[in-house]
Structure 1
Amino acid sequence: MTYCLALKLDEGLICLSDTRTNAGVDNISKYKKMFTWNVPGERVICMMTAGNLAVTQAVMSLLQENIDNPKEGIDTLYTAPSMFRVAEIVADAMRVVMGQYGAGLAAAGESAASTIIVAGQRVGGRQRLFLVYSAGNFIEAGDDTPFFQIGENKYGKPILDRVIEPATPLATGIVAALLSMDSTLRSNLSVGMPLDLAVMEADTFQFDQQRRIDENDAGYRNLSNAWSEAIRASFDDMVKFSV
């Protein structure tokens, strides 16, 4: 399992993913689920994956192969004229990979279901956030729900519903994303550290932050502990209400 989330705020885009993949309690591995591309001053792209690992790795490899070995008439992540076209390219790659492996996985009783979050901005365009499904169709985040989650999303959704809106400051969004992940880590063993964080400030076309957060990260540990203490204190205050 996995948990990835992305926020589209007026001030920028925030992407956060865990790195745990497991096929049972005795078969736990770590795999990167966040992939990034950047042409400074021209475009910045971040993707996160969930679902069948073989499928999502094949999609990422196909996207990179087309960049490394460009062919005439075929758009790549680096030549796409818009973020909408980037989403179409990812969707096309998903359909190709599903066409190659989907039937075989189904015959073996394995799920090929996969999802990919696509976030980024190209010069001349606005920042955009898409969610690509296994069938190659996709949706875009809007002002009503300016975030996407994939994987084990139920534990981390309440704080996003309560806090996140387009006008939320970028710094606040980073804290909300980390606390959403922290809630998931505490409630589900199939999601695990280290975490990958990418922050893209609007109209800069670069990564303002791009780092890995591990178990020994003091800032994250302090944030997690403070959140736990705040919840306990708030809960204690609730006893004064009669329901």
Structure 2
Amino acid sequence: MTYCVALKLNAGLVFASDSRTNAGVDQIACFKKMRTFVNPDDRVIVIMSSGNLSITQNAINLLEQRGRHFDQRNIWDVDSMFEVAQLLGEALREVRQHDGVFLAQNNVDASANFIVGGQLRGEAMRLFLVYAEGNFIEAGEETPYFQIGETKYGKPIIDRVINSDTPLSDAVKCVLVSFDSTMRSNLSVGLPIDLVCYNRSSLKLDFQRHITQDDAYFSQISRRWSEGLKGVFASLPNPEWLRDIDMSHRFSADS
């Protein structure tokens, strides 16, 4: 399992992915699920993946390999992020068509999903979610983020905090809390976390961080979020309509 999230804000883009692929009592495997393609002053592209590891790796490698041959359309010469999403969807379909039948014979799930976003010179920032079939949708004002993998535990905090006007620093805090919540509820998601921030129109990779178990800031965020939740919960008023039940229990205990 994995967890990846990307935010498209007025200030820029935030991407984060975990690195845990398999988790069990005696087996934990870590693989990077984020790939960046950067040509400074021309384009910044970030791709994150979830699903069958061999399918996602081969699709990215195919995309990268075609980028070395300038006699065909590739990620380094297309004019829009829409075309980048098209190329990624085509690569995913090709790999699934080639390998899917063999995986199916052994009851192996060949599904995979991608988040791809960034900015090309002369175009605004864009963010896409690419489905297993190779089709995709684009993030907009109403829904400025995408998640893939184990999404349900980290979604509530993003829904409560994130909107298009959220500053990048607040967005990073929110993303890290989202990961902390997910990791507490699902052991198949875990550190390290790869984090990338991109400032709008900079056309360079502004910030990258590989967050490990020893990261002091992430540990602080995790601890203070947990303490804060407990404190807020303790401060909530008890339901008045349960007061009689509480009183009857108290009298019963005293007798």
- TM-score after normalising by structure 1: 0.96
Distance in structure 1 (CA, Å) of the matches to 2:135 and 2:215: 38
Q: Which residue of 2 aligns with 1:135?
A: 133
Distance in structure 2 (CA, Å) of the matches to 1:241 and 1:218: 39
Residue by residue, what CA displacement relative to the aligned partner does 1:95-133 show, whole Å, maximum 9, x if unpaired? Answer: 110110111111210100100000100111010110111
Q: Which residue of 2 aligns with 1:166?
A: 164
Distance in structure 1 (CA, Å) of the matches to 2:59 and 2:195: 21
Residue 239 of structure 1 aligns to a residue in which SS? coil
Distance in structure 2 (CA, Å) of the matches to 1:43 and 1:139: 20
4+ runs deviating over 6 angstroms: none
What's the offset of the Cα at 1:240?
A: 5.1
| Number of matched pairs | 241
- State which of 186, 204, 207 in structure 1 corresponds to 2:205: 207
Distance in structure 1 (CA, Å) of the matches to 2:7 and 2:36: 16
Distance 1:137 1:224, change over 3 A: same
- 1:228 maps onto 2:226 in alignment: yes
What's the offset of the Cα at 1:241?
A: 5.6
Distance in structure 1 (CA, Å) of the matches to 2:239 and 2:13: 39
Distance 1:23 1:112, change over 3 A: farther
Percent of aligned positions that are identical: 46
- State which of 77, 80, 87 in structure 2 corresponds to 1:79: 77
Q: Which residue of 2 aligns with 1:9?
A: 9
Distance in structure 1 (CA, Å) of the matches to 2:12 and 2:193: 19
- State which of 101, 117, 125 in structure 2 corresponds to 1:119: 117
Q: Which residue of 2 aligns with 1:67?
A: 67
Distance in structure 2 (CA, Å) of the matches to 1:212 and 1:239: 41
- 1:197 maps onto 2:195 in alignment: yes
What's the offset of the Cα at 1:26?
A: 3.0
Structure 2 unmatched runs, 5+: 242-255
Alignment of 1:169-184 (within 5 A): 169-184=167-182
Structure 1 unmatched runs, 5+: none
Distance in structure 2 (CA, Å) of the matches to 1:24 and 1:132: 29
Paired AA for residue 134 in structure 1: A
Distance in structure 1 (CA, Å) of the matches to 2:135 and 2:26: 35
Residue by residue, what CA displacement relative to the aligned partner does 1:137-182 show, whole Å, maximum 9, x if unpaired? Answer: 0011111111000000100000011111111111111111111011
Distance in structure 1 (CA, Å) of the matches to 2:27 and 2:214: 23
- 1:109 maps onto 2:80 in alignment: no
What's the offset of the Cα at 1:23?
A: 6.3
Distance 1:237 1:127, change over 3 A: same
Distance in structure 1 (CA, Å) of the matches to 2:33 and 2:147: 13
- TM-score after normalising by structure 2: 0.92
Q: Does the Cα contact within 8 Å between 2:23 and 2:187 map onto a contact in 1? A: no
Residue 224 of structure 1 aligns to a residue in which SS? helix
Residue 14 of structure 1 aligns to a residue in which SS? strand
- 1:32 maps onto 2:35 in alignment: no
Distance in structure 1 (CA, Å) of the matches to 2:188 and 2:42: 37
Residue by residue, what CA displacement relative to the aligned partner does 1:25-71 show, whole Å, maximum 9, x if unpaired? Answer: 43320000000011111110101000000000001110111123x14
Residue 203 of structure 2 aligns to a residue in which SS? coil
